[in-house]
Amino acid sequence: MSELVPRPRGVLATTTEYIGEAVRYTVLLTQLAAAGVALGLLSEAVRSAYRYVEGCAASVDRLADKAASLHVDGDVVAAHYDAASVMRSVLEEADAMAEAASDLSVMFQQTADAHRADYGPVADAMNSKDGQVADREYYSNR
């Protein structure tokens, strides 16, 4: 791989690369965990909105029933039932969205766990290693 700007070699360069890799590993795990938590919170927010809209739809149905029992104009009663129906139709989409966000949250956590399982022992070994780390080019074709 050619580089326009040559990288310095030696202990400082190797140490800098090692620290950079350790930081990237930690940042990646942190970002995966944060994404999982954010998606979990999104899922709960959508479910909370779902419950609110579901309550609103039930309330509008009760109002329509009450209006019908009071012999309110049929178009007004029908409009209320239609409004409740529209509310319920978006609930299916909201439920699907909440489920998808929840699934993604789990997948992000599983990805973080898998990454930690794959590379955690390597990171731990590198952190506890005595002596110098080999130049990364040594590992590049392995």
Q: Specify if 138 maps to a domain.
A: no
CB-based burial label for 21 (10 Å; 0-12, 13-18, 19+): middle
Q: Specify if 52 maps to a domain.
A: yes
- Looking at the chain, the number of H-run helices and the number of E-run strands are 3, 0
This prediction has a pTM of 0.60
Q: Specify if 2 maps to a domain.
A: no
Closest CA to 25 of 109, 131, 121: 121
Structural domain count, the chain? 1
Q: Specify if 139 maps to a domain.
A: no
Are the C-beta atoms of residues 20 and 121 closer than 8 Å to each other?
A: no
Domain that holds residue 87: 11-129
Q: Specify if 142 maps to a domain.
A: no
Q: Specify if 102 maps to a domain.
A: yes
Q: What is the pLDDT along the chain (142 residues), one digit of tens a residue?
A: 445 555 555 544 555 565 667 678 888 889 999 999 999 999 999 999 989 999 999 999 999 999 999 999 999 999 999 999 999 998 888 889 999 999 999 999 999 889 888 888 877 777 777 777 666 666 666 5
